Amino acid sequence: MSAFWKIAVIGSGPAGFYATGELFRQQSWSFKVDMFDRLPTPYGLVRGGVAPDHQKIKSVAKIYNRIAENKDFRFFGNVEFGKDIFRSDILEFYDLVIYAVGSPSDRSLKIPGEELPGSHSATEFVAWYNGHPDFSEHKFNLSAKNVFVIGMGNVALDVARILAKTPDELSKTDIADYALEKFYESKIENIWLVGRRGPLQAAFTPVEVREFLELKNADVMVEGGTLQLDVESQRFIETTASKDTKKNYEILKEISKNNKYKKKKRVHFLFLSSPIEILGSKCVEKIRLVRNVLVKRDDGTIYPKATGDFMEENADLIFRSIGYHGNPLPEIPFDQNSGTIPNECGQIIDKRKDKLLRTREYVTGWIKRGPTGVIGTNKQDAVETVNRMLKTIIQEKLKPMEQNDNSVFESLLKERNVDFVSFEDWKLLDEYEINNGNSQDRPRIKVTSIERILEIIQEKKRK
Ligand SMILES: Cc1cc2nc3c(=O)[nH]c(=O)nc-3n(C[C@H](O)[C@H](O)[C@H](O)COP(=O)(O)OP(=O)(O)OC[C@H]3O[C@@H](n4cnc5c(N)ncnc54)[C@H](O)[C@@H]3O)c2cc1C
């Protein structure tokens, strides 16, 4: 048998799976992959981020399941790098490692009042309604009437759309049960989406914004005439604007024509505005915003410049959705500014060592390039990382280590009392969730506590 390389992949989101798939695709190499995730469930943001009413997108997990079927693949869920396992363990037992841990933190607005109760990150809210075990105990005041979502990317639109939907619409999704209960009590009337730039600079995609025209119980409107374009913007939309920008503009025009408000809730698109303060004595009561104008820099890029025109609106609940940020991992270089692991085409750069590049350590996905792109973007990204890894193996004349017994790492985890979950274990939970969902005409009913997940797996294994 030809020698094989043992690879550890840290993180089981799209990036981790695409990197694994790319390794297994190599005809002239043999790889064994052990994938670790701090959660007992795989797929990263496909389970914990993608909106519950976007089930088609979640079906990408079928591709990951096929990768997991490879005989040389093992999953170790409920194992956290930096808590249960460390860099020294990985470098002792594996030839190479790929970190694919994503960017789970959010960026803050850095404005006064941001810490008041009622002001949250979209990250927390999304993770809460998606049943992420770390967030299931969080509380959100859905008896609020006026909600502000700060940001105009797809995640901001997800949050606004979920808030605007009726509980009956949500009840056919895999939204966490506790969240669905709270949505039945929701008193929300106004949902504001706030963007600092104009409609032509919005980061959302046409598919996402079009969904607002189809909401059962919410009217949608564009605030304050921002769709009247100046000469330059008009020329831009007619000439160099991307297809998506043109489509976004058409959809927003359609939205702005709506002047009959008959439904219970309203979604307001507010462009060219930035929050400057959140006001309230004990909790969020109001939000103060400044109007912006767009200014062109010498290099042609456009930025929003604050005017002296302010507005104050009642606000009971605020979600900031202005970008994600990675978290540092112990003993791994980290760039605080970008929130990523410094790398060259996926190979980790370590400026503190004589050797600039770490030969055995790689990175892929959001923690490599920052939180941009769609799920599929992580595939090209993983291909780049794997290619770089193969090139380095050849250039540096690396050799696979003496083959240690495949059960050694398992034994180490057991010694440390780490209750790890295999892919077969996860499939038992998966089946349990889907069966429970079937009885209620839902895709699945998620189990949202780690303790309960582990119990169910044990119960199923005993049967
Ligand atoms: C709210 C939201 C909605 C989105 N919706 C869509 C959509 O509809 N369509 C679309 O195409 N894209 C969507 N995206 C983008 C898409 O989810 C990302 O491109 C993709 O998930 C990034 O993959 P990743 O593997 O780098 O990170 P992640 O998916 O975040 O995966 C990282 C994994 O690493 C694990 N991990 C983290 N730290 C550790 C550690 N220390 N030890 C072990 N494991 C660890 C995490 O538990 C997680 O499973 C959305 C993103 C967000 C935030």
Delineate the domains of the chain, giving CATH numbers in brackets: 5-104+326-421 (3.40.50.720), 107-320 (3.50.50.60)
For the CA of 82, the closest atom of ligand 1 is: 41
258's CB contacts (< 8 A; 6+ apart) are: 219, 220, 221
Q: What is the per-residue pLDDT for 298? A: 87
**Nearest residue to 315 (alpha-carbon basis) of 51, 111, 50:** 111
The model's confidence at residue 2, banded by pLDDT at 50, 70 and 90, is: low
Q: Where are the alpha helices (DSSP H) in 112-242?
A: 122-129, 154-164, 167-170, 177-184, 206-210, 231-238
Written as six digits, the tokens of 298 are 């010498």
Closest CA to ligand 1's atom 48: 44
14 vs 1, which has greater pLDDT? 14
C-beta 44 within 6 A of ligand 1: yes
pLDDT in tens, 370-390: 999 999 999 999 999 999 999
Res 172 pLDDT > 60:
yes
Q: What SS3 class is residue 304?
A: strand
Closest CA to ligand 1's atom 52: 49
Closest CA to ligand 1's atom 41: 81
Res 463 pLDDT > 70:
yes
Q: What is the per-residue pLDDT for 353? A: 61
**Distance, CA 368 to ligand 1 centroid (Å)?**
12
Instruction: Give me the mean pLDDT over the 436-443 stretch.
Output: 95
Res 61 pLDDT > 70:
yes
The model's confidence at residue 322, banded by pLDDT at 50, 70 and 90, is: very high
**Nearest residue to 361 (alpha-carbon basis) of 333, 384, 338:** 333
Least-confidence region, from 5-14, 234-243, 371-380, 426-435: 234-243
Instruction: Give me the mean pLDDT over the 219-237 stretch.
Output: 85
C-beta 127 within 6 A of ligand 1: no
What percent of the chain stands above pLDDT 90?
Answer: 89
Mean pLDDT of the chain: 95
Tell the residue number behind the tokens 């209960």, with chain if given: 181
C-beta 50 within 6 A of ligand 1: yes
**Nearest residue to 181 (alpha-carbon basis) of 127, 134, 143, 126:** 143
Q: What is the per-residue pLDDT for 354? A: 62
Res 404 pLDDT > 80:
no
300 vs 35, which has greater pLDDT? 35
C-beta 339 within 6 A of ligand 1: no
pLDDT in tens, 68-80: 999 999 999 999 9
Q: What is the per-residue pLDDT for 233? A: 84
The model's confidence at residue 1, banded by pLDDT at 50, 70 and 90, is: very low
Instruction: Give me the mean pLDDT over the 213-221 stretch.
Output: 95
C-beta 381 within 6 A of ligand 1: no
Res 289 pLDDT > 50:
yes
Closest CA to ligand 1's atom 5: 50
The model's confidence at residue 296, banded by pLDDT at 50, 70 and 90, is: confident
Instruction: Give me the mean pLDDT over the 407-430 stretch.
Output: 96
Q: What is the per-residue pLDDT for 402? A: 84
Q: Where are the alpha helices (DSSP H) in 224-373?
A: 231-238, 243-257, 366-369
C-beta 54 within 6 A of ligand 1: yes
- Is the C-alpha dihedral spanning 382, 385, 386, 387 positive or negative? positive
C-beta 80 within 6 A of ligand 1: yes
Q: Where are the alpha helices (DSSP H) in 171-230?
A: 177-184, 206-210
How far apart are alpha carbons 30 and 139 in whole angstroms? 48
How far apart are alpha carbons 240 and 248 in whole angstroms? 14
